[in-house]
Structure 1
């Protein structure tokens, strides 16, 4: 298995874990008799756990090596997918989701940092396609979860089997990951790495794209139901169209970046997404709105992946840079659905999606922050040996 195929499989596995768990949340709520408010608090523990874990991920990768950190953390993420449904009581769900979030966030950081290092070695963009495979893994596992729920398969059995299967795949993928180069003379990342000013500028681009992604994914079906009087099937189709066009664009994104460059790609994406936002806001029929959501998905697809790649070149180490931007994008995905919901309630759904349109325009304006910078200097043992002594 080549290094590229190995990290591609890691991204697909990470997405599959997320997709598998999300489909069994209703089972979790019914099994533990959780009120909507309690379920919301339980689910909030996952991003909290991610926020706690992500800033420490680069330090872990430095200590044990990026390859080993990726192998261990992706395996842990696979194993933990079944933990919430196996808990003996509802109180145990809070620490379970905290641990799940920490595993999700730290594995996200180290696998993206590993991808940045491999991308630099290959001399071409690969990260957009890797995020596309994450979406493919999530959609495929989500489809399996929907079938399992439809046929009444107990979530404990379903997720335990999924955990073992994905664990086996993760171990196979781990053997093909890029080996770490010996490094000396490079300072260790901070124990708790918050974004620097330069990384924050890159992170704002990812923040805008992730905000539009999170808001659209959570509100697309509701929007066409409330504004365009769509039925349940058409509403579900609108969400699916958004996700499929975004995933498809990510799979093709590296070719586009290779032709246009990261800055021009994100700026063009901002224009496409803004046109989609106008269609969503102005449209009053399901298919016009669905076309708008498709364009939003196309326009924002590669902004976050390219922000990770740029951060990996900007930070004192790839892991520290990616950790900073990932923290920003997780914050965006957490607050976006709530802000759009508040705006829709206080004003209207079209007014709320006008805000999204303005945000994707801002994404294009800020795209200059992704301009390539000098690579983070590393000193290998071979280089060190060639230097004259003191």
Structure 2
């Protein structure tokens, strides 16, 4: 095996050349292999946590950024579309970057760019520069997102058990940590420029440390490199459509649940805000425990049951006579969609010959869903009502039950560890 194909401690180590003590060496090799991929799981989980912490740190200081730039609510809404635009434009480049430099090196650089990009929005003095800063912020987020999910899929394949839901749960946990720190900083009146500079320094150091033990895998010498800019492949479109439905329901619930309780059910501002926090917590907890469900029942069944829960939750929201019923409905939506996006990334990683390209395609589709969901809900509400808007969410939740079968993309690839033969080289970005 060429040295550049697999680097670091994740290089596959064959047994003795003469075959002596083959059984003992194989057994020891299997234990060692499980341990190193177990360490890789911890490392990539920390990467997901760091990535989520940046998002949480930014979100809590949006009011400060609005005041600092002097933009109106409408202008702020325009600016907040630019992270998703930047991510959607940049993500198709991720496969070529990872193929060129290797997964670990690409992740180390891109994750550092993402954590450092946290400082940009608070430095912007006006709307134009804020939009530019948020575009770069989103681009670095999208690139690192694709690479870390591709590595997560490879670790899942090597461990031969579901971990993607838990990884996304760690992202949610990171977002909660970042938002908690940001809330504290806002409470004491800290300047967001100072807050974000300190947060970026801490998160950059944490991210670089975590990247030291993620797998560094390159492709074979005769492997054709992916195009520099690749549109979503056909294998990603149907998988992405399932992810689209889930992200639309998630985005609509996160952004509009508080408004729904306040305007439709006439609740207090405090109770309305609590519904959003409860929804986010539900999502995080469901993702952290979701891997056990997926391993027990399989991806397709988990998504179908999740789709049924989300559909029931949407119906509860639409028909709710009391705030408690609506809050329960939003909770069911969160439970129902929690594992869908992690499973969509995992399915994309096993759907074709270019996993990184497929993952980038699914990520692009889901980011697009997250971009249009809040405005689509608002547009439907303006034309009709918020109740009708969440009727649309309920309809899309039904799509999870219908489309769950596309997540059946074959078994995970477990690395051979019981023989003295080297494992085959993995995809360049996984």
Q: TM-score, normalised by structure 1?
A: 0.94
* Aligned pairs (5 A) from 1:99-178: 99-178=136-215
Give the structure 2 partner of residue 191 of structure 1. Answer: 228
CA-based RMSD of the aligned residues comes to 2.0
The structure where helix makes up a greater share of residues is 1
* Aligned pairs (5 A) from 1:209-358: 209-358=246-395
Cα deviation digits, residues 210-261 of structure 1 (max 9, x gap): 0100111000000011111110110011111111111111000100000010
Give the structure 1 partner of residue 116 of structure 2. Answer: 79
- Report the alpha carbon displacement of residue 283 of structure 1 after superposing the two structures with TM: 0.7
1:207 corresponds to 2:231: no
- Report the alpha carbon displacement of residue 71 of structure 1 after superposing the two structures with TM: 1.2
Q: Which of the pair has the greater relative contact order for Cα pairs under 8 Å at 6+ separation? A: 2
The runs of 5 or more residues in structure 2 that have no matched partner are 1-37, 416-420, 426-430
Q: Distance in 2 between matches of 1:140 and 1:167?
A: 15
- Report the alpha carbon displacement of residue 25 of structure 1 after superposing the two structures with TM: 1.1
Q: Distance in 1 between matches of 2:61 and 2:236?
A: 36
> Bigger radius of gyration, 1 or 2?
2
- Report the alpha carbon displacement of residue 375 of structure 1 after superposing the two structures with TM: 6.9
Q: Is the 8 Å Cα contact of residues 8 and 130 (structure 1) preserved in structure 2?
A: yes
Query: Number of residue pairs matched?
Result: 383
Cα deviation digits, residues 280-316 of structure 1 (max 9, x gap): 1111211111000000000000111100000011132
SS in 2 for 1:314: coil
- Report the alpha carbon displacement of residue 323 of structure 1 after superposing the two structures with TM: 0.1
SS in 1 for 2:88: helix
SS in 1 for 2:258: helix
Q: Distance in 1 between matches of 2:74 and 2:245?
A: 28
Between 25-34 and 294-303, the greater mean CA deviation after superposition: 25-34
Q: Distance in 2 between matches of 1:199 and 1:284?
A: 40
Between 82-91 and 117-126, the greater mean CA deviation after superposition: 82-91
Q: Distance in 1 between matches of 2:305 and 2:378?
A: 28
- Report the alpha carbon displacement of residue 45 of structure 1 after superposing the two structures with TM: 1.9
SS in 2 for 1:2: helix
Q: Is the 8 Å Cα contact of residues 242 and 400 (structure 2) preserved in structure 1?
A: yes
SS in 1 for 2:230: coil
Between 282-291 and 37-46, the greater mean CA deviation after superposition: 37-46
1:10 corresponds to 2:47: yes
The partner residue of 1:32 within 66, 69, 76 is 69
Q: Distance in 1 between matches of 2:68 and 2:313?
A: 40
- Report the alpha carbon displacement of residue 132 of structure 1 after superposing the two structures with TM: 0.6
- Report the alpha carbon displacement of residue 384 of structure 1 after superposing the two structures with TM: 8.7
Q: Is the 8 Å Cα contact of residues 117 and 137 (structure 2) preserved in structure 1?
A: yes
The runs of 5 or more residues in structure 1 that have no matched partner are 386-390
Q: Is the 8 Å Cα contact of residues 343 and 351 (structure 1) preserved in structure 2?
A: yes
Between 112-121 and 313-322, the greater mean CA deviation after superposition: 313-322
Structure 1 runs of 4+ off > 6 angstroms? none
- Report the alpha carbon displacement of residue 2 of structure 1 after superposing the two structures with TM: 1.2
- Report the alpha carbon displacement of residue 90 of structure 1 after superposing the two structures with TM: 4.3
Q: Distance in 1 between matches of 2:122 and 2:204?
A: 18
